[in-house]
Amino acid sequence: MERRRVVVTGVGAVTPLGNDAETSWENAKNGVNGVKELTRLNPDDFPVKIAAELKDFDVEKYIEKKEARKMDRFTHYAIAGAEMALNDADFKIDDSNAERVGVWIGSGIGGMETFETQYDTYINRGLRRVSPFFVPMMIPDMASGQVSIRFGAKGINTATVTACATGTNSIGDAFKVIERGDADVMITGGSEAPITKMSLAGFCANKALSLNPDPETACRPFDKDRDGFIIGEGAGIVILEEYEHAKARGAKIYAEVVGYGSTSDAHHITAPAPNGEGAARSMKQALKDAGIKPEEVDYINAHGTSTGYNDEFETAAVKTVFGEHAYKLAVSSTKSMTGHTLGASGGIEAIFSILTIRDSVIPPTIHLEHPDPLCDLDYVANQSRKQDVSIVMSNSFGFGGHNATLVFKKITE
């Protein structure tokens, strides 16, 4: 079966660095720190005092107030990202194409805030006061469902839940839908609104979060003084399109999606496999799928969470896959600026990877002052780098042993 080419024609995002993709990207290039003091919750209730929150996001720009009340925040973010991405692609869904347009948007934990507030309502006010919208607000597939309903996409409509690999798996699986001919256009990515009481309590309990109270030093991937990740929120949505379909309508093309890998550690519910064995297989699988040699890769947007094992084992995995070339390619973690947006991170980082190719600028890993001796690659420390980039790899790894990798390439005829 002939593989159809797949390209990116639109991007949309809401992140701790900005309420659209271009603002987020400009801030990422400039090394802006999106981590600030925790305001969504009372910091006195938690050992964690900082977070990467959205700033001044106005849901009513995208959804009427009455309708917004029937949705969790992760769905708000997904709809905003999808609307911006469709507008950026200059693509309208109508009766002539709706059945060939699909939606694949995932969320790692879905409507956690809805669950908490409705449980409080049930306990304090009784069953009769629980919202009839409780279940459809909470379930993780509803971002995808609401985007499909809102924009009229009638093709495949599904959602991935693979923890922190969710966004990358979603885009990779959507890529395969178009490649095999089951759709011409896919609205895809990840969305997350995890800054809630129980979510923060859970991550504090399993000691995954940084306890550093200083927003200017806490999120420091690959630094020997790192002590955990910073929780973030947002969405990253891209429009994938079959190449000839995009060309026929004169669409602008950001980059081509050429490879996807997805593996399991089969090791532990939270800890990565030793030396990043599963991550290495994911990267190798993505390179094989793309038909690309390791030495052709210019830049890796790393998972880079600022946790001890993750940064060390991802570095080891890169060395396994790339050999000597590992020391020649650039690697950076944009989570150093956005925090860890969990299921949204793969979508946001896919956008940053694509825009790296467009602008020939590699975003930095900020706060990298004291490199971990075990993390000895070129992490583009603290300042962005002007460099021609043709091929980018983006990694995401999640609780449960999920590994996912995408490869993007500068478009050629």
Give the pLDDT confidence of 87-98 residue by residue, as tens digits: 999 999 999 999
Evaluate whether residue 205 is within a structural domain.
yes
User: Following CA atoms 392, 280, 325, 339 in sequence, which dihedral angle do they give, to the nearest 10 degrees?
Assistant: 50
For range 108-124, the mean pLDDT: 97
pLDDT at site 390:
98
Q: Does residue 332 contact residue 352 with C-beta atoms inside 8 Å?
A: no
Total domains in the fold of the chain: 1
pLDDT at site 155:
98
Evaluate whether residue 407 is within a structural domain.
no
Evaluate whether residue 410 is within a structural domain.
no
- So which residues are the catalytic ones? 164
Token readout for 137 is: 């607000």
- What is the domain extent for residue 305? 1-402
Give the pLDDT confidence of 272-326 residue by residue, as tens digits: 999 999 999 999 999 999 999 999 999 999 999 999 999 999 999 999 999 999 9
Q: What is the CATH number of the domain that holds 398?
A: 3.40.47.10
Evaluate whether residue 144 is within a structural domain.
yes
Evaluate whether residue 390 is within a structural domain.
yes
Distance CA 187, CA 238 (A): 6
Is residue 1 predicted with pLDDT exceeding 70? no
- Closest by alpha carbon to 238, among 133, 106, 71? 106
Evaluate whether residue 98 is within a structural domain.
yes
Give the pLDDT confidence of 368-406 residue by residue, as tens digits: 999 999 999 999 999 999 999 999 999 999 999 999 999
Give the pLDDT confidence of 223-271 residue by residue, as tens digits: 999 999 999 999 999 999 999 999 999 999 999 999 999 999 999 998 8
Give the pLDDT confidence of 331-365 residue by residue, as tens digits: 999 999 999 999 999 999 999 999 999 999 999 99
3-state SS of the chain is CCCCCEEEEEEEEEECCECCHHHHHHHHHCCCCCCEECCCCCHHHCCCCEEECCCCCCHHHCCCHHHHCCCCHHHHHHHHHHHHHHHHHCCCCCCCCHHHEEEEEECCCCCHHHHHHHHHHHHHHCHHHCCCCHHHHHCCCHHHHHHHHHHCCCCCEECCCCHHHHHHHHHHHHHHHHHCCCCCEEEEEEEECCCCHHHHHHHHHCCCECCCCCCCCCCCCCECCCCCECEECEEEEEEEEEHHHHHHCCCCCCEEEEEEEEEECCCCCCCCCHHHHHHHHHHHHHHHHHCCCHHHCCEEECCCCCCHHHHHHHHHHHHHHHHHHHHCCEEECCHHHHCECHHHHHHHHHHHHHHHHHHCEECCECCCCCECCCCCCECCECCCEECCCCEEEEEEEECCCEEEEEEEECCCC
pLDDT at site 2:
83
Evaluate whether residue 408 is within a structural domain.
no
Evaluate whether residue 94 is within a structural domain.
yes
